[in-house]
Structure 1
């Protein structure tokens, strides 16, 4: 069952224990001082805040500016999953990242700070590869609302600091310019969560195509769901981990050539946001 997006109160779209990305081309890890701001010097495009500076929300790009689509991958690792990683569970997926590189597909990776702490070499490699852009998926992967697929919840007074801590972890892992885009864990948010992040300068990034790859075992079914859902300007949410999203690499191998055959061009989320902010 694919949950539908709900406006105003809470927007949720994914299961909770979703997992993460890795890289088939690791580089040496570099430790740096924590970032003080999520916005790099190049100033990537963001949406205008709402009334009272409310954090803006982006779900898809313009439908009328050509056949573009953004593949996004959540690099999930919840703060309390360290023992599972120590026991051998893989929250990364080097094969998937290698396939994206081989197919020359740009992508946006929403990375938790806890994941960057666990896999600093992969985080740095992704952060230095111009084919990818890395954005914020919280530090803890705890929910910013109650009743979000069983995830533990972040105290409202700590929501902002959880996002700031994630940026610090990404920077410490060697990601030089994490983008000012934030994806809520589980896709769940409400007005209180948007207010808590006001002033950070981030755009909250959702999606309009749920791939259904989390915990899926039927790659063909996930492929059909993506192909049936994509429209011009779409943002597709996917995951990459060898334990919780085992079909994703196969799905990418099937989806990419088919969408290209249909005339689609793959872009990063930043390009869609730039088109949206320029055509409002």
Structure 2
């Protein structure tokens, strides 16, 4: 994806280029099967609706002494880009996903429904790995506002349906517990879009650190940009695709040990949202 800074109610970053992520899952301990005496899992934390009941927007966690940071990766595929995949273009990055597992880094993957349809095995592997959580990045990766990096747009009356269609695609692919978090394509949103998604019951998730990894050729520069921007509670937006973000794995292999050296702990977005909600 193309990553640039802009403002449409909040910072908008991702461009129209594809990005995707996924890799064959390496063996990991299976989740224990629920028993009759198991306690039902609690619902994922969300934020309360904003003024007039509009969809809440989350940017970062608390800026306290708890040095947590969430790495997020967008698995994008627009609804009309199937021919590119059919022609052999690959939008996954097995090395990146393998690196996250090797480094034992929890992460949140914002996935489009179209991507889950194209790569159901990879979507299932990510969704069933307790190291990761899958969140919603729309079905089509069409923009929810006009003038969003050249992306096609989804009409207001189809916005909620587009989000719900993505969840349906996740279920069909075998993702068991997609989170009630939504990232706008391109990061572009306005009050109209937030209001349209209120019935979906999602928390919109943005970010406060731009990695600059899209189309980057210098992994060290990407790593420096992240390391310079991270603060306690940060949400970092990154990409995972061999074609549009070829340096991300190398950058992650620099970012992770350095942030750990600085005392940071990697968490999923859900933990940051829970911490933010508990402080309200």
Query: Normalized against structure 1, the TM-score is what?
Result: 0.92
User: Cα 1:2–1:129, aligned 2, differ >3 Å: closer, same or farther?
Assistant: closer
Aligned to 1:237: 237
Aligned to 2:105: 105
The CA deviation at 1:266 is 0.2
Post-superposition Cα deviations, 1:149-189, rounded to whole Å, max 9, x if no partner, equal: 11111111111100000000011000001000000000000
Post-superposition Cα deviations, 1:48-82, rounded to whole Å, max 9, x if no partner, equal: 00122200000000001411000000001111110
Aligned to 1:208: 208
The CA deviation at 1:18 is 3.7
Aligned to 1:6: 7
Aligned to 1:50: 50
The CA deviation at 1:3 is 4.0
Aligned-partner Cα distance in 2 for 1:60–1:187: 14
Query: Structure 1 residue 25 and structure 2 residue 25: aligned?
Result: yes
Give the 3-state SS of the residue equivalent to 1:244 in structure 2.
coil
Aligned-partner Cα distance in 2 for 1:136–1:261: 32
User: Cα 1:162–1:200, aligned 2, differ >3 Å: closer, same or farther?
Assistant: same
Aligned to 2:187: 187
The aligned length equals 267
Aligned to 1:34: none
Q: Does structure 2 retain, via aligned residues, the 8 Å contact 1:58–1:204?
A: yes
Q: Does structure 2 retain, via aligned residues, the 8 Å contact 1:18–1:239?
A: no
Aligned to 1:251: 251
User: Cα 1:5–1:41, aligned 2, differ >3 Å: closer, same or farther?
Assistant: farther
Q: Does structure 2 retain, via aligned residues, the 8 Å contact 1:53–1:199?
A: no
Aligned-partner Cα distance in 1 for 2:236–2:190: 21
Q: Does structure 1 retain, via aligned residues, the 8 Å contact 2:143–2:186?
A: yes
Aligned-partner Cα distance in 2 for 1:128–1:256: 23
Any stretches of 5+ residues in structure 1 without a counterpart? 28-39
Aligned-partner Cα distance in 1 for 2:192–2:144: 9
The CA deviation at 1:139 is 0.2
Query: Normalized against structure 2, the TM-score is what?
Result: 0.92
Give the 3-state SS of the residue equivalent to 1:77 in structure 2.
coil
Aligned-partner Cα distance in 1 for 2:171–2:3: 34
Q: Does structure 2 retain, via aligned residues, the 8 Å contact 1:18–1:245?
A: no
Aligned to 2:86: 86
Aligned-partner Cα distance in 2 for 1:112–1:257: 29
Alpha-carbon RMSD: 1.6
Aligned to 2:114: 114
Structure 1 segments of 4+ aligned residues over 2 angstroms from their partners: 1-8
Aligned to 2:32: none
